[in-house]
Amino acid sequence: MSYDKQPSIRFAEGAGKAIRSWADIAGHVRDSAKEIVCVESYPGVNLAEVEAGLAGVFDASLIIRTADLMLDQSSLDDLLRSFLTDDRVFGYMAPFQMADLFDADAVHAARNRIEDARKTGTPVLVIGTGAALLADVSYLVYADMPRWEIQKRMRAGLPNLTANNPNEDFLVKYKRAYFIEWRIADRWKMKHFDRIDVFLDTTLPDNPRAVDGVTMRKALAHSVTRPFRVVPFFDPGVWGGQWMKKHFDLPDGPPNYAWGFDCVPEENSLLIDFGDIRMEVPSINVVLRHPEPLLGPKVYSRFGPEFPIRFDFLDTVEGGNLSLQVHPLTGYARDKFGIAYTQDESYYILEADDSACVYLGFQDGITKSDFFTALETAQSGGAPLDVDKFVNRWPANKHDHFSIPAGTIHCSGSGTVVLEISATPYIFTFKLWDWGRLGLDGRPRPVHVDHGRAVLREERNTAWAKRELIDRVDVLSDQDGIREERTGLHELEFIETRRHWFTETVIHHTEGSVHVLNLVEGDDIIVESPDGHFEPFTAGYAETFIVPAAIGTYTVRPVNPDRRHATVRASVRI
């Protein structure tokens, strides 16, 4: 089985309930709606397309666009400034609610116009992010959008919700969305989720899909009763390689593919098949809507409605070294950025060339002072940093596993495909040295030397890394064609990983935590419920899949029992 780039969930109960094309969607709204229709939208939706698609329903009617009611740019900038900061990458998590972005007088006047239209029987369309602020909703349409699609649109010139900035640096746009806009929109969406009459998918331009609210809510509930995959996405980078492009059959065009995001539910999408109509929805909806059965009660209690485990690929085969980097300690991340936990991680080596390596931990005898003196000299145009003088370079072979708790200097070298298993706050990387490169946009890539100086742990040296971080494997059992090993992560990290080698059926128990698995060796596996609670699920080599905590017991068996297979499974220590 080849790597599936479009995995989907079949929801049999929804067959025949979804619709496609603007003509059919507009007709459905016309037949179902009352005098007021609100089209709520996630930031990034092309509202001009939506409004044009519904034009036949609302010709000569009152149309109120929420973009016209927001605070003026100066007021928005004043409101958001302390959370955006002057940094190109990092801001601070904002606590705002949707109403905070709007001019109260303008909203009041719009409500009066709606009330006047109601009295005369004039149909009203309120459209845009925050539409439900304006009226007692008679009929609510929600136009959703996955974050990865939003990022692609930002790169193509989409401005932020709260700024007229089509040509601004993408990293600055992303920061504004990540720290402010997406948080507000997620809170607002969940507040109204049970009221939504129609869910609208406009991810594919001019190819809309829609389904009624009851059916979509049932489909999302169904998703946490079975294993599932989210839709992976891929991105080039200055150090990117060629392995994923070849083995995952990725499109030509980019010079390489550096990242493959195979399980980042905050940004991935979820494909749901309602009969012959497929809808793409943000996979974060499952996390926000059904956190307890998905994550498990204890994990949900600890993290709230956030998916705490991330799986992604870093491809440097025929590429270069990643930037030398470090992740913030938990207290620092909380104080500086307003996040509750940090990006502890690990590198599982999925593929490796003969010369592959991982940089990890200071050399014995190195001090932070010596390192940062040399680093600042290099950053100022002096001699390039002699990385091997300061940082250990360890050979990397297929199936090696390197733990990287926050505060540890590290990066992957060239010649590897890394399955990165980490906690989810994924933008909190302090680049220290980038080998003198420019980004694909021709600009210097951002480095954060001062942040790195504050969190880098000098005592994590050669001896400590060798003892604590490198390929620590504890054999837990080995019998009847099944070998179970504990491969990490470090005791400072909240994620635990188990590797199973098998030619026979393996029995797994979620034990109260969501499981994330990847097939790191072998062809195809079948995931099944011993009691038949879900349809058998098939995964291929390198595919990541999620097993909701509520499933409890499940089994994994190889399609070809004559070949030894292996999975890596991550869960939260509880």
**pLDDT tens-digit series, residues 286-333:** 999 999 999 999 999 999 999 999 999 999 999 999 999 999 999 999
Q: Report the DSSP beta bridge partners of residue 519.
A: 567
List of domains in the chain: 8-223 (3.40.50.300), 274-468 (2.60.120.10), 474-572 (2.60.120.10)
Return the pLDDT at 1: 59
Q: Are 189 and 42 in contact (CB under 8 A)?
A: yes
DSSP 192-249: HGGG-SEEEE-SSTT--EEEEHHHHHHHHHHHTTS-B-PBPEEE--TT-BSHHHHHTT
What Cα–Cα distance (Å) separates residue 295 from each residue in 17, 298, 301, 559? 29, 8, 9, 28
The token pair at 103 is 């001019």
The per-residue DSSP string of 325-373 comes to EE---HHHHHHHH--SS---EEEEEEEE-TT-EEEEEEPTT--HHHHHH
Residue 193 has a pLDDT of 97
pLDDT for res 179: 96
How far apart CA 347 and CA 363 sit, in angstroms, is 19
Average pLDDT over the chain, rounded to whole?
95
Tokens of 511: 């034990």
Residue 467 corresponds to which tokens in the numbers above? Answer: 């003892």
Alpha-carbon distance of 534 to 550, in angstroms, equals 12
Q: What is the pTM of this model?
A: 0.96
CA–CA dist 59, 393 (Å, integer): 67
**Regions of the chain short of the pLDDT cut 70:** 1, 60, 137, 425-426
Structure tokens at 419: 């399955």
Sheet strands side by side (includes 357-362) = 391-395, 357-362, 410-412, 324-326, 430-433
